Structures are given as C-alpha cells and as structure tokens.
Amino acid sequence: MSTTSLAAPARTGEPLRRLLALDAVMTGANALAYLALSGPLGRFLGIGSGLLLGLGAFLAGYAAGVGLLAARPHPPATGVRLVVEANLAWTAASLLALALWLSPTTAGAVWTVLQALAVAGLTLMQHRALKARQSSQV
C-alpha cells in the first residue's frame, strides 16, 4: 500500500505543489480552529459561532481537496485553476461580507482583512507557479 503525505511536495521542489500544500495546511488549521473553538473565537471576533462552525466544516472539506491535489505528482491545471478561482472568490466574499454584512469586533475586522490578503497573496503565487509550469512544458 502506498501513502502520500503533504510533506511529499516539500521534497519535490516543485513550487506549485508546495503552494498547494501550504494552502491545504493553512486552510485546515483555520477549519480546525473554527470547528473546535467556534464559541470563544466567535466572541473574540464578533462573528456568530454558527457561522464559524459552517465555515469550519466548509474549509475542512476544501482543505482536504486541495491536499489531495497537492499530493499528486503533477496536479492537473484544471484543478489548480479551480483552487485559484475559489481562493479569489473567498477573498472577494470575505471583503464583501465585512463591508456589507458582518459587524465584527476590531479584532474580527482585522482578521477578516488579513486572512483575505493572505489568501489573495497565496493565490497570486499559485497562479504564477501554474503559468511557469505550463511555460516550461511547451
């Protein structure tokens, strides 16, 4: 039986796989925090614990999917593009929710903006790594 871990991309040296693995780990950590600490985090961030639980469940599934993609020796471009597009949607939705819907504490507003910027930055790096891989395959 063969097993593949998220540590494998770090050994390959392929930037795209490392970025996908980083995405999976960071998203998974957020998911676990939201699921395990939705009450205290909700009070600290000024965001409902039910919303955090829902986000945690969604992020856990998303992290698993990105992790599976990162574990592939050559992640398919279509899958990577879906991750890039989903991350862009997450960034936009986070900022829109903050502007139009959420009424978080100062810590919650700062957290929302910082995580949106982090996701956007990671997305840009994933997009560039995909383009670089496609250029080298031509």
For residues 87 and 73, give the distance between their C-alpha atoms in angstroms, rounded to a whole number. Answer: 22
Average pLDDT, the chain: 91
pLDDT of the residue at 134: 85
Looking at residue 40, its pLDDT comes to 97
**pTM of the entire predicted model:** 0.86
Among candidate residues 36, 8, 6, the one with its CA nearest the CA of residue 21: 6
Q: For 67-122, what is each residue's pLDDT tens digit?
A: 999 999 999 999 999 999 999 999 999 999 999 999 999 999 999 999 999 999 99
The percentage of residues in the chain with a pLDDT greater than 70, rounded to a whole number, is 90
Q: Which of 30, 51, 46, 49 lies closest to 106 in space, CA to CA?
A: 46
Neighbours of 11 (CB within 10 A): 10
